[in-house]
Amino acid sequence: MIDLRSDTVTKPTPAMLEAMIQAKVGDDVYGDDETVNAFEFKVAKLFGKEAGLFTSTGSQANQLALRVLVSQGEELLADEKAHVVRAELGAAAVLSGITTRTFSSQDSILDAERAFALAAPDAGPYLVSTRAIAVENTHNFGGGIIQPLDQIEKLHRLASSAGISLHLDGARIWNAHVATNIPLHEYGRFFETISVCFSKGLGAPIGSMLLSTSEKIASARTWRKRFGGGMRQVGLLAAAAEYGVDHHLPRLVTDHVHARILAESIASVDPRLVNLDSVQTNIVGLDLMSISLNASEVAARLKADGILTGPLGPKYLRLVTHGDLSEEEIQIAKERIVTLLQSAR
């Protein structure tokens, strides 16, 4: 099987497993795991932040961020296709009593004024007050697009003048960094909290991190325990994540080249199938409106042909490239996908 469902499907490499075996561990709930402690400090520094908190998942890091930024009965603003809105199963409401309103974005690209237009920083006691705005970079359901830095900067200016915090869902900020050469600490300047994932393009089996001020991380640490996310000798996982940061970051460029190869050959079948402008990193979003098959039918036929893909909407199919795919597998996938799409026109 050639697995294009997600960049989360990668398996640890032998060198990553070796790094795990060599890790010096301790009980992290007691703050004793030196691998975790050093790694949290290291990643925080990369983003110009004071402190980090290793978490089991990106969703947990996002939810801890929202928990420390927004109080019960207050509001988060986010893009309508944001992961925190669509894929965390209402956690902000369920776990933290946060209400969410969404703004729409052309092709999921942040428009600072449009986003900020919804903000109501001091609306109480009759309306809900906005406390935070989330930005996703790269944008998963937006097809891996990179958010423009000038819009981030503008939103930061508008939000801080109103006392509203910005959270970055940076599960794939690594891809944005590699594609643009914008330093990670440059992104760090504009966000009060940042979540990053090691279990996607960087290839770790498990692990994410929340980054912020020491004060906010101390509060998030308490909430992580309360949510059942305190882990013990978790240096084993932090070592894998650190190996991913140290050794796999530059190779994300290859994932981006592979996504481009797939996208261009699909566009050559019918340009309506994929918006090439939005293929900026490792995700290719297919719009199947111009063919008779729906996404689950295309996915089923490709599966029968040895290719796994992600049908994420009736007419939306997602392909994601990652480090466990060889050049040869990308060529095979490209040919089989093109053959199927040509026959379905």
Which parts of this chain interact with ligand PLP (CB under 6 A)? Answer: 57-59, 62, 83, 136, 140, 169, 171, 197, 199, 208
Minimum distance of ligand PLP from residue 78's CB (angstroms): 11
**Cβ proximity to ligand PLP, 224 vs 334, nearer residue:** 224
Tell me the pairing of strands 51-55 and 75-79: unpaired
Per the document, the length of the chain is 345
Residues 134-171 as b/e (b if ≥16 CB within 10 A, e otherwise) read bbbbbbbbbbbbbbeeebbebbbebbeeeebbbbbbbb
Question: What's the token pair of residue 250?
Answer: 């530059």
CB-count exposure of residue 62 (10 Å: 0-12, 13-18, 19+): buried
Minimum distance of ligand PLP from residue 66's CB (angstroms): 12
Minimum distance of ligand PLP from residue 138's CB (angstroms): 8
C-beta atoms surrounding 294 within 10 Å? 16
Minimum distance of ligand PLP from residue 206's CB (angstroms): 8
Secondary structure letter of residue 23 according to DSSP? -
Query: What Å distances lie between residue 143 and 108, 221, 240, 264, 302, CA to CA?
Result: 8, 32, 27, 14, 20
Minimum distance of ligand PLP from residue 86's CB (angstroms): 10
**Cβ proximity to ligand PLP, 89 vs 304, nearer residue:** 89
**Cβ proximity to ligand PLP, 61 vs 340, nearer residue:** 61
Distance CA 240, CA 207 (A): 9
**Cβ proximity to ligand PLP, 155 vs 197, nearer residue:** 197
Residue 9 three-state SS? coil
Minimum distance of ligand PLP from residue 71's CB (angstroms): 22
Listed in sequence order, the residues at least 6 apart from 251 whose beta carbon sits closer than 8 Å to its beta carbon are 323
Contact assessment for residue 140 and residue 182, using Cβ atoms and an 8 Å cutoff: no
| Residue type, position 57, single letter | T
Minimum distance of ligand PLP from residue 83's CB (angstroms): 4
Minimum distance of ligand PLP from residue 201's CB (angstroms): 11
**Cβ proximity to ligand PLP, 129 vs 193, nearer residue:** 193
Minimum distance of ligand PLP from residue 61's CB (angstroms): 8
**Cβ proximity to ligand PLP, 40 vs 136, nearer residue:** 136
**Cβ proximity to ligand PLP, 75 vs 136, nearer residue:** 136
**Cβ proximity to ligand PLP, 68 vs 291, nearer residue:** 68
**Cβ proximity to ligand PLP, 206 vs 293, nearer residue:** 206
The full DSSP string for 50-103 is SEEEEES-HHHHHHHHHHHHS-TT-EEEEETT-HHHHSSTTHHHHHH--EEEEE
How many Å from the N-terminal Cα to the C-terminal Cα in the chain? 25
Q: What is the number of the residue whose Cβ is closest to ligand PLP?
A: 58
